[in-house]
Amino acid sequence: MPDERSPAGAPGAQASRRRAALPPDVVASLRAAFEQEVRRRVPRLCRLQRDVPGRAVLVQAQRDAHSLASSAVVVGEAEAARCARALEGALEQCLLQPFAPLPPEVLAQAERLAGLLDAWLRR
Amino acid sequence: MTAPGADPAPVGVVVVDDSAVQRRFLRAAVEADADFCVVGEARNGREAVAMVGRLHPGAVLMDLDLPVMSGLEAIERIMSSSPTPILVYSAFVDRGNQVNALEALAAGAVDVLAKPGPADTGSLEEYAEALRRKLRVAARVRVITHPRGRLRSQGMTAPAPAAATGSRLSLRPSGPEPRDTGGSPVRLIAVGASTGGPQALLTLLGQLPADLEQAVLVVQHMADGFMGGLASWLDGLVPLPVCVGESGRRLTPGTVTLAPSRSNLLVQDDRLRILCVPPPAGQFHIPGIDVTFSSVALALRSRAIGVILTGMGRDGAAGLLAMRQQGALTLGQNEATSAVYGMPAAAHALAAVDRQLALADLAPAVLRALGRVPA
């Protein structure tokens, strides 16, 4: 494997070319993107409460939970990230039995995640 | 041409993630180093393959869990058509999910990096620096056309497999014990059939030799009470022994096991233990093919072959897609030879089928994939 020196040669040789990471405007844009993601994905998770979900709904819900978990980490919302990751794992089990009523604890997890993210939106 | 002493052009990077938050973060993290420039953003594996072919970037940052086309499939395709250094970053390549990391590397990725998770305590800036460090190394790796992708593009199976998807089944945490998938042979042939199935099964199973080393699992939609009869009928006509599966037992190599009536059959693990569970209320087709195929995808990943035969409806299509996304070879019966071109058509429409073949050509394709010469 090649070493990890900069392409120009010696370590740090191009340090001056590197800009500071994650300036405030980037952080702000990340939060804006997360807000859009929350507004798009959370309503779909809330649909789990309504009917007995089929496979496609479960797959989408799991994808939503997965994305929200990773994105919440990026914006520093650790609790929401943990909740989303737990929901994602629970939905994985549900996928083995699509068209079965979701266990109450899964629905509660979805509701809790929606609540956490709703609170984030209001902040 | 770069003038002597001038800074070299930055390395173009394509970022692939279905989350806008992640793409934005990655762009910021990468472009914090002036040696790199994000030249494209793709939201799924298919976009990524097209974008890399068009833009010829110097490196790709690839998530694994992608819609439309999984990251692993995209890696294989890129490495077979436009070899490019790929750094995988995913929530599913951490210590608890080493199989995914191994599969990404087996597919041709240069390196992997776990996305920061809820339990991580490091800062985003630290993660961004780790990402750049890995990217700097990855971008300098000279990559070549990857054999797995080349084999798959020719419709052949490859030694080691992988996953991913649109369905996300490929990328779930796999538990504390990593599975040995590298170069493992196929363990199971899973077959789904419905209307017209018994005759099709006779043709397919009739061409499988008595010394087959793989287990064969058949899920045939059938009214309650007839499965034993189907097993007896097939057992008398095909070279392999045929039985009806029982919950708690293992599938046996060289034996055809039919999923029992009145339940769904799940393959629990790579030791081929099976579990028969009552179908949920409202399930139309029993035993369900989707449920079984999905369990096979999870338990065996690429070490299985999926075959969808004639039948009405669409049961089996989603499960077969899950298998394909895990790297399994998937075959579908073609329209011309299907009694009812419903399930195979649904699977084909979902892009769950690697190859669509005439009924008589399915078993030879299976045998060739197993490295055997068809009779």
Distance CA B99, CA B58 (A): 27
CB < 8 Å from A in window 179-238 of B: none
| Distance of alpha carbon B158 from alpha carbon B161, whole angstroms | 7
- Tell me, yes or no, if B91 comes closer than 8 A to chain A by beta carbon: yes
Chain A hits for B120, CB-CB cut-off 8 Å, are 73
- Which architecture does CATH list for B185-369? 3-Layer(aba) Sandwich (3.40)
Measured from the Cβ of residue B300, the count of other Cβ atoms closer than 10 Å reads 26
Shortest alpha-carbon distance between residue B133 and chain A (Å): 7
- CB neighbours of residue B6 within 10 Å: 8
pLDDT for position B24: 94
Task: Find the CB nearest A62 among B128, B140, B168.
Answer: B168
Catalytic residues of B: 194, 221, 315
CA gap A99, B349 in Å, rounded: 22
Q: Which residues sit opposite B313 in a β-bridge?
A: none
Helix (H) / strand (E) containing A81: helix A78-94
Q: Note whether B28 contacts A: Cβ–Cβ < 8 A.
A: yes
Residue type at B191 in one-letter notation? V
Strands (E), B186-238: 188-193, 215-220
Shortest alpha-carbon distance between residue A36 and chain B (Å): 9
Q: Which pair of tokens denotes residue B53?
A: 């072919």
Of B19, B67, B117, the CB nearest to A71: B19
Picking from B29, B136, B291, the nearest residue to A96 by CB comes out as B291
Q: What is the pLDDT of residue B14?
A: 97
Buried b (16+ CB within 10 A) or exposed e, B337-362: bbbbbbbbbbbbebbbbbebbebebb
β-strand pairing of B59-62 with B86-90: parallel
Q: Which of A6, A22, A91 to mutate to test the interface with B (most CBs of B within 10 A)?
A: A22
What pLDDT score does B100 carry? 64
Second-level CATH architecture of B11-153: 3-Layer(aba) Sandwich (3.40)
- From the number of C-beta atoms within 10 Å of its C-beta (0-12, 13-18, 19+), residue B248 rates as exposed
CA distance A75 to chain B (A): 9
- Closest Cβ opposite residue A85 in set B118, B282, B318: B118
Residues in chain A with CB shorter than 8 Å from the CB of B280 are 97-101
**Cβ contacts of residue B118 below 8 Å, gap of 6+?**
A69, A72, A73, A78, A81, A82, A85
Set of chain B residues whose Cβ sits within 8 Å of the Cβ of A8:
8
Looking at the DSSP bridge assignments, the partners of residue B242 are B256
What is d(CA B304, CA B183) in angstroms, rounded to the nearest whole number?
13
Q: Is the dihedral of CA B35, B105, B76, B342 positive or negative?
A: negative
Domain count, chain A: 1
What's the confidence (pLDDT) of residue B312? Answer: 83
Amino acid, res. B58: G
The four Cα atoms B35, B41, B42, B47 give a dihedral, to 10 degrees, of -80
pLDDT for the residue numbered B101: 62
Nearest to A20 among B32, B173, B294 (CB): B32
B9 vs A: CB within 8 A: no
Per-residue confidence (pLDDT) for residue B154, from 0 to 100: 47
Residue ranges covered by each domain of chain B? 11-153, 185-369
Q: Do A22 and B124 count as a contact with CB atoms less than 8 A apart?
A: yes
Preferred mutation among A41, A42, A99 to probe B, highest tally of B CBs within 10 A: A99
Neighbours of B370 (CB within 10 A): 17
Hey, is A54 helix, strand or coil?
coil
Beta carbons of B319 and B291 less than 8 angstroms apart: yes
> Would A101 be classed as within a structural domain?
yes
- Cβ-Cβ contacts under 8 Å, B173 against chain A: 89
Are B287 and B245 spatial neighbours (Cβ–Cβ below 8 Å)?
no
C-alpha distance from A51 to closest chain B C-alpha (Å): 13
The CA distance from B296 to B286, in Å, is 17
Q: For the CA atoms of chain B, what is the radius of gyration?
A: 22
- Is residue A42 assigned to a domain? no
Which DSSP symbol is given to B174?
-
State which residues form the domain around A99: 51-123
Q: Please give the Cα distance from A68 to A60 (Å, whole number).
A: 12
Nearest CA-CA distance, residue B207 and chain A, Å: 32
DSSP class of B349: H
Task: Average the pLDDT over A57-77 and give the result.
Answer: 91
**Mean pLDDT in order along chain B per 10 residues (375 residues):** 64 95 94 93 96 95 90 90 89 59 69 83 85 84 54 43 32 32 71 87 94 96 75 88 94 96 91 92 89 94 96 92 94 89 94 96 95 81
In a domain, A38, yes or no: no
Q: Do B21 and A33 touch (CB under 8 A)?
A: yes
Structure confidence at residue B178 (pLDDT): 31
Asked which of A6-20, A98-112, B46-60, B145-159 is least confident by mean pLDDT, the reply is A6-20
Calpha distance B96→B93 (Å, rounded): 8
Q: What are the structure tokens assigned to B288, written together?
A: 């369900």
Is residue A11 one of the residues assigned to a domain? Answer: no
Question: Hey, is B38 helix, strand or coil?
Answer: strand
Searching chain B, which residue's CA lies closest to the CA of residue A80? B118
One-letter amino acid for residue B51 of the chain:
M
Q: How far apart are CA A58 and CA A89, in angstroms?
A: 12
Distance CA B2, CA B7 (A): 8
Q: What is the pLDDT of residue B22?
A: 94
